[in-house]
Structures are given as structure tokens and as C-alpha cells.
Structure 1
Amino acid sequence: MNCLVKSLRVCLLSGGESRRMGRDKALLPHQKGGVWLTAMIDQLMPLGLPVVVVSRHQVHADVLAHQSDLKFVLEPPPWNGPLQALNFVLSSGSDGAWLVLPVDMPRLTTVVFQQLIDAWRRHPNKVAVAHDGERLQPLLAIIPSGSPFRTSLSEQLSSGCYRWLDWLDRVPYESVVLPSRCLLNANQPKDLLALSE
């Protein structure tokens, strides 16, 4: 078996400012109980993979304090968005690959994660990026941590470009069509209405 497949880990990105939402999205109540952050952890744990939560918010660590089976990492500045957080993770010196996801896709499920993992296993030397049938959802992806992924990311950030899609154009990737309903990205209050439908 490919060594990349053996060393797959999870990185949950939870460090955004939630400016458009007006309050911390990670701490919004989830319809299945808990808050978005803990509900996402509940969906990730059945995968049996090591989970790392990356956030700049100490309150997120406090919420997860009872979770002994995951690691919380306080993201250091500069805080320039999720691509900078990804670079922090890929630069940690660990080999293998990362299932990376944002905290603000509250409909994601264990089944959807497994579908993405199964697709990535067929081409483990590429980034596997979620696609909702209309467009890429780049914050949900499985990303190998070696070259050219880590080096191209560092080069792009050094140039001052923080767009995730620009980075994807620099690396080999394939899109993986997943159920669009599960990929709803909630960024502002009106998106909460769509979640309740």
C-alpha cells in the first residue's frame, strides 16, 4: 500500500474571523446538538484518523478540552486566511497527506469524507478536491504534504497571493464530485436559512 495512504491525517481549519457571519461560526449551535466545531469532530472520529484542529481562537481549545483523542494547535500570526493556515500545517515536517476541511460546512458527514478518501486513494499523488457539480469547493480536499505541494505553496504565499484556487492551478489535482447538499458553505446569516431547509 502507498505510504501516503497509510499516513492520512485530518486538519480541521477553524481560525477565521467570521466577519460576514457576525459571530464565531465554529460556536454556532448545530441542529444535531453541540456547536459546529464539536459536530464536525463527531463526524470525523469514525474515520479512525488522527485529527488536528488549527485555530487562532483559544476559546475553541477550551470547547474541545474534553476531547483527548485530538490535537489542538494555536495558529500563529500572520493570519492571512486558510491558505496560510494550510502552509503552517504542511510546514510542520510531517509526511503523508492531510484531509483538510473548514468548520463552516456543517452538513459534512462521515460518509462524504469517506467518499473523498476513496477517490483520493486511486490517485494519492494528486490533491483530491471536492466539487459540488457546479464548481470546486477547494477548502475540502486531501493534500499530500511533500513536493511540489509544500514548495509551491510557500512560493505563492511569499509573493503575497493567498487565493486557494491560484495555488491549485500550480499543483496536480483532480476534482471529486460529492453531494452538493453536504457542501453548503455558510458564511453569512442568510446561509443559515438554507441550512434549515
Structure 2
Amino acid sequence: MCTSPIGRPREFDAEAALEKAMAVFWAQGYEGASLTDLTEAMGISRKSLYAAYGNKEDLFRKALQRYELGPGAYVADALRAPTAREVAMAFLAGSARANTLPGLPAGCLGVQGALATGETGRVARDVLAAWRAGGQGLLRDRFRQAVAEGDLPSDADPEKIARYVMTIANGVAVQAAGGATCEELQQVADAALRNWPPA
């Protein structure tokens, strides 16, 4: 006779479930993603969600970390490029690719996750603003290094260059969400880099 254990929690793949939560937040934003949407996509109960990930805000933070290590991994890769111009090129090319990945929502979780939120989405908006500022800070520090090494002119402003690159990348995300293709976005990135300061 076959019996099933009573009271045993259902096993699930926490990483696969987090990947699904990331896609829900990416497609619907923080406020638009209801707990029902999240639990259905993840294939778990609310109780399991709270036990494994904490509340919705905690889950969102974990999903953003997952995004950073997955589709957003191009940022870390770009920062390792040998010259400042190649950093910017890799950053913008990576943005164009990540924002148009087949089978995933168009655009960027970090840009669209909380652009238009009410009071209940304030935490997500603040988390994403800090996340984007952190990315810009990484670019700024890399460009400061480029000035110190003579790869950028001594009078170049690393903060302004980082903001420029980040602004283009954020625009790429918005355009991707509107249906622009990777090739079209790469053309934008190429055009933006024509203004790159000479060494």
C-alpha cells in the first residue's frame, strides 16, 4: 500500500522559482505583480513563498540580485574591458542584448520595475534607484581609473561620462520595452559612442 507523508512540505527548486519570480516582476513591475501572480508562476503556496524568501519586498530584492547575476551580468563583464571606450561599448551592447532576450520580458527589470508606482511601491522604487545609482558608480570608478591611466583625457569628467553611458542604457531599456530590436538598439549605442572623448 502506498502512502504519502503527512505534513511534509512540498519540495521545489528555489533557484528555478526565483527565476520565475524575476520574470513576473520584470514583466509586471513591483506593484503590478500580485502575490497570486508570483505564487502561480513559481508553483508554490504563499506559505512556501514566505518561508523560503520572506515577504514580497524580500522576494523582489532577491529577484533583482538574480537579474544582476543572470541577464544583467553584462555589467560586471563590461567593467573588465581593457579601455574606457571598450567598457562603454560592452556596457551598451550588453544592455541592447539583455533588453531583448528571447523568452524574457523586453526592457530592463532595473528600469521598468518601479518607474510608475504608488505608495505601496515606494520601497521598490527606492531599491531600484539605488541599484541604478550603484551601476553608475561602478562606471564612474572605472572611468576614474581610465583618467589615472591616461586612457581618458586628464580633464575628462568620469561622473558625467558614467551618467551619459547610463542614460543611454536606460533609454535602450525603454526603447526595447516599446519593441525596438537588438540591432536597432545597437545602432543607437554605436551612435552614442561617436561622442566618446579622445585619449
The TM tier, using the shorter chain, reads under 0.3
- Under a length normalisation based on structure 2, what TM-score does the superposition of the two structures give? 0.27
Q: Which structure has the larger Rg? A: 2
| More helix as a share of residues | 2
| More strand as a share of residues | 1
